Structure 1
Amino acid sequence: MTKRHYGVFSLLAGGGFFDGFDIYIAGSVLASMVATHFSTVGKNASFVSATFLGLLLGTLVVAAIADKVGRRFSARYALLLYGVATILCAVMPSFSGLLVMRFFAGLGLGGVIVTSYGLWVEFVPKRSRGFWAGAMSFVINLSQPISALLALILVPHYGWRSLFWVAGVPAVIMWVLQALYLPESPRWLESKGKQNEANKVIGQFEKYVTNKGASVQGTEDQPKSAAPVAALKQVNQSSLWGPGVRKATILAIIISVLTIVTWYTFTAWIPTFFVKSGLSEVKTFTFTFVIMLGAIPGNALAAILSDRLGRKNTLIVLSILLGVISLLYGYSRSPGLIMTFGFLFVMGGNILIAMTIASYIPEMFPTNVRMAGSSLANAFGRAATIASPYFIVFLYGKGGQNLVFWSSFVMYVVLAACILFLGRETKKKSLEEIAYEEISEVSHSVSHGIQS
């Protein structure tokens, strides 16, 4: 890690922070719109679906752009689109106009998160990749308690529109900084045959090492032998459904769908559930703020555990624990228990998101299709969240929040089983070594089949 790494980290995490902030203010905005009669629970479902429809399409578009045109281009202009559309959300006079702007904001949102995590993974050394992916998730998801705190401070005095101003204006400023200082991924440049440009980018990092009198030859991110790199160059990994990539694609889709749906079931709807149960706006935002503080220890633990305990086993155990906690939260009635189990759920949910979306999913794909794979998985997750708000409204009408959280329990158990049977460990392995293992596994199976 060099000074240049820290600069890239700041640019990507900064853009991701306001992206996350926009998503997490949704719960407070929805609750306030219901309380002020600008919207209803049914209309709120349309708001959430419009946002996630934009997220879905934005994620698919960025997949094509990021792998063909470049990571830097897609990251910057997704952030600009999101920032401008969010500012326009603040001035829309009608609910229908707000839905249109939320759709366009979603287009940008869908690109920012995927490119931020995917690009960062391609810069970080393998031995600390889990830690630094967790660190980026920590910064981005600080937006959870901060958005809840600002909702508590701003909404009672300035209304829900103020949150869109806070989310949009800084994002445009961050876009300017990215346009000036964010480098392209050298791994992507090399995969496109742009070796000279890749070397120039690497030189930006190496100079901070050589200035200290250290050698940059034989860096730790090189595979232990030349075999992985040589094999990867001979195998076509341009398809997400080809040998060596197919299983990663399937698992990534499953992880993304179950993680995103269960997470946004909680964060987007909890304030609305509070309002519908009779709590005032002030109490609703106070409860939400305390619960969202769980993001801070959650992301810190993700950074610590990822490289120490590994991704696979931690994710399996954590998924089961989250299923149990979601049930306990659903049956809690006293303020103390609601805030306690809500805090624990947010803490565990942030560990899960940091280790899957920020690290595990991008790691599973080779460079040629890393953004395409991450984006496709993310797109399936967003597609599920387009339909899930209406399903949540249905469940809430039939059995209240208890039934909603029983559905979350089932999804977490399924997630644990899928990671157990389809997942592989990725800690402290270079991205090339991970891809080589996947190819070798397929080659071994084919050879064994021929011998049989």
Structure 2
Amino acid sequence: MGGRVAVAQAEIFESVYKRGRTNVTTQVLDAPQQRVIDIGSLAEEGTWNASRKQVLLLCALAIVLDGLDNQILGFAIPSMIKEWSVTRSDFAPALALGFVGMTIGTPIGGVVGDWLGRKVALIASVFLFGAATFAIAVAHGVGEVGLYRFLAGLGLGGALPAATALTAEFTPRRNRSLSVMLGIVCIPIGGMIGGLIAAQLQPEYGWRMLFVVSGVLPVIVAAVLMFALPESPQYLLARGADMERVAKSVRILDQAAAASKAFIDRRDVGVERASLTALFTGGFRRTTTALWIAFFFCLLPVYVLYAWAPTLLTGKGFDVQTASFGLALFNFGGVGGCIVTGWAIGRYGTRVAILTVAGAATFGAVILASIPLSTETQPLLMALLCIEGFCLLGAQGSLYALAAHIYPTNVRSTGVGAAAGFGRAGAIVSAYIGTFALNYGATMFFAVIAFCVAITFIAVAVIDMHQAAMKAETASSGI
């Protein structure tokens, strides 16, 4: 009964708000037992407290494992080729199947996040990619690897949009880009951990142990998330959940506000419910199209490097440990790139920040294409891989922050998931582009990367819904 009264109060408040009758609104808000909380404004403008940061930490843990499982096959391929007496081109279909799974799983994960909840989508995704990755440890051929990789891809694709939406909705607007970037930075952190694990475990215990470790960890984390991770209060309210349940999540935003038991979210009045068509209506059409292109041509070179850089380096005479370390350095640079770019977005806005790192990544790939790869040039090569990771992964992470800024709550998970899902199509192409480029040598390999990042630069420049610098936003609002 109390829940229905609270909903009725919220509806009355919303109706009054639309008519502009501020005197009645004040009366409702001033009544101690009838106080209606606008959780949209609370989430956007409230304090970034410890409870909110805990949500970021839990989502970040899931994304670390996403990054680990996403890249672990690339570390194992050279050893698998040797053990099974196959060629690197034989692995192209297996890699492509994994990316097909991601391409399908990303938009599905986004829609599930908007319809069943971000928490449900994230937990199911983490469990799926963990279990499927573990299964690769008992595979006996490339065909089995492809099947398990497809299943893992479904989970890997679904985890990121749910985690991004959940992180965004528990973070104040002024901190949102940095928060999303701190989540995305966990992808290269996971890859860096994978490189270190591969360098240490693979020579001693073989490639199968890599999949045992990277498969068990996500299953454990999925169980932790089930009990520790809250659901988005904005999502719960939009889906008509019981006010007691909404209040439990609102407590994460603000302990005092949770006592109200009457909530509204004015930001999404008139916004369509989650659907792909909503992303191309009104002012979203141009931005959505350009964003999808940017994702496609940014993720393509990233996955070319993830999947084929160790094979390229071992083919040039580097041992497995050095090749794994090189990809770990690429990811290490990406960690710094995501953090610095996240800071730059807050200071200069998404347009300046993303175009800067995308332009630098294009230039860096051109330099990599122009130098010979050998043990003599190893120090220069490792330094350049680290710098390229800083720029390229900084650009990739920024696209997720941009997508979270562009779309409102009702379509945020769908919007991020659809853009990332289209980007995963670039990952599918990378499985074949990588083998094609390797056949023509390192120069072609890095030239492909430079070309793709240049297209990303152009697409980002076309987007017309960029986040402004925080100083500019503050000045325009008169604060």
Deviation for aligned residue 1:427? 4.8
What secondary structure does 1:426 align onto? coil
Deviation for aligned residue 1:44? 1.9
**Quick check: 2:359–2:454 contact (8 Å CA) kept in 1?**
yes
Q: Supply the distance in 2 between the matched residues of 1:316 and 1:290 (Cα, whole angstroms).
A: 23
| Residues 1:174 and 2:174 are matched in the alignment | no
Pick aligned residue for 1:113 from 160, 163, 171: 160
Pick aligned residue for 2:426 from 368, 384, 389: 384
Pick aligned residue for 1:292 from 315, 331, 355: 331
Letter in 1 for 2:451: V
Letter in 1 for 2:252: Q
**Quick check: 1:35–1:275 contact (8 Å CA) kept in 2?**
no
| Residues 1:91 and 2:138 are matched in the alignment | yes
Change in CA separation of 1:235 and 1:282 when aligned onto 2, cut-off 3 Å: closer
1:260-275 alignment, distance < 5 Å:
260-275=299-314
Pick aligned residue for 2:179 from 124, 132, 137: 132
Pick aligned residue for 2:235 from 172, 185, 188: 188
What secondary structure does 2:281 align onto? coil
Q: Which residue of 2 aligns with 1:356?
A: 399
Change in CA separation of 1:41 and 1:22 when aligned onto 2, cut-off 3 Å: same
Mind listing any 5+ residue stretches in structure 1 that lack a counterpart?
218-225, 434-452
Q: What is the aligned-residue RMSD (CA, Å)?
A: 2.3
**Quick check: 2:345–2:469 contact (8 Å CA) kept in 1?**
no
Q: Supply the distance in 1 between the matched residues of 2:307 and 2:389 (Cα, whole angstroms).
A: 12
Deviation for aligned residue 1:229? 3.8
1:392-403 alignment, distance < 5 Å:
392-397=434-439, 399-403=440-444
Deviation for aligned residue 1:195? 6.9
Letter in 1 for 2:205: Y
Change in CA separation of 1:59 and 1:38 when aligned onto 2, cut-off 3 Å: farther
Change in CA separation of 1:408 and 1:287 when aligned onto 2, cut-off 3 Å: closer
Q: Which residue of 1 aligns with 2:42?
A: none
Q: Which residue of 1 aligns with 2:381?
A: 338
Q: Supply the distance in 2 between the matched residues of 1:374 and 1:132 (Cα, whole angstroms).
A: 15
Q: Which residue of 1 aligns with 2:352?
A: 313
Q: Supply the distance in 2 between the matched residues of 1:234 and 1:382 (Cα, whole angstroms).
A: 31
Q: Supply the distance in 1 between the matched residues of 2:251 and 2:329 (Cα, whole angstroms).
A: 45
Deviation for aligned residue 1:177? 1.0
Pick aligned residue for 1:425 from 450, 458, 466: 466
Deviation readout 1:323-374 (Å, 9 max, x if unpaired): 11011112222112211211100111221122112x1112211222111121
Letter in 2 for 1:344: I
| Residues 1:325 and 2:385 are matched in the alignment | no
Deviation readout 1:90-140 (Å, 9 max, x if unpaired): 112222212111111111111111211121111100111122222222334
Letter in 2 for 1:307: G
Q: Which has the larger radius of gyration?
A: 2
Change in CA separation of 1:179 and 1:400 when aligned onto 2, cut-off 3 Å: same
Q: Which residue of 2 aligns with 1:450?
A: none
Change in CA separation of 1:384 and 1:245 when aligned onto 2, cut-off 3 Å: same
1:53-68 alignment, distance < 5 Å:
53-68=100-115
Q: Which residue of 2 aligns with 1:206?
A: 254
Pick aligned residue for 2:122 from 32, 52, 75: 75
Letter in 2 for 1:341: L
Change in CA separation of 1:381 and 1:140 when aligned onto 2, cut-off 3 Å: closer
| Residues 1:104 and 2:151 are matched in the alignment | yes
Q: Supply the distance in 1 between the matched residues of 2:85 and 2:126 (Cα, whole angstroms).
A: 28
Provide the identity percentage.
25
Change in CA separation of 1:160 and 1:246 when aligned onto 2, cut-off 3 Å: same
Letter in 2 for 1:101: Y
| Residues 1:375 and 2:417 are matched in the alignment | yes
Mind listing any 5+ residue stretches in structure 2 that lack a counterpart?
1-47, 474-479
| Residues 1:233 and 2:280 are matched in the alignment | no
**Quick check: 1:45–1:390 contact (8 Å CA) kept in 2?**
yes
Q: Supply the distance in 2 between the matched residues of 1:391 and 1:9 (Cα, whole angstroms).
A: 35
Deviation readout 1:402-433 (Å, 9 max, x if unpaired): 1232222222222222222223332577xxx9
Letter in 1 for 2:418: L
Q: Which residue of 2 aligns with 1:406?
A: 447
TM (norm. structure 2) is: 0.81
Q: Supply the distance in 2 between the matched residues of 1:330 and 1:274 (Cα, whole angstroms).
A: 13
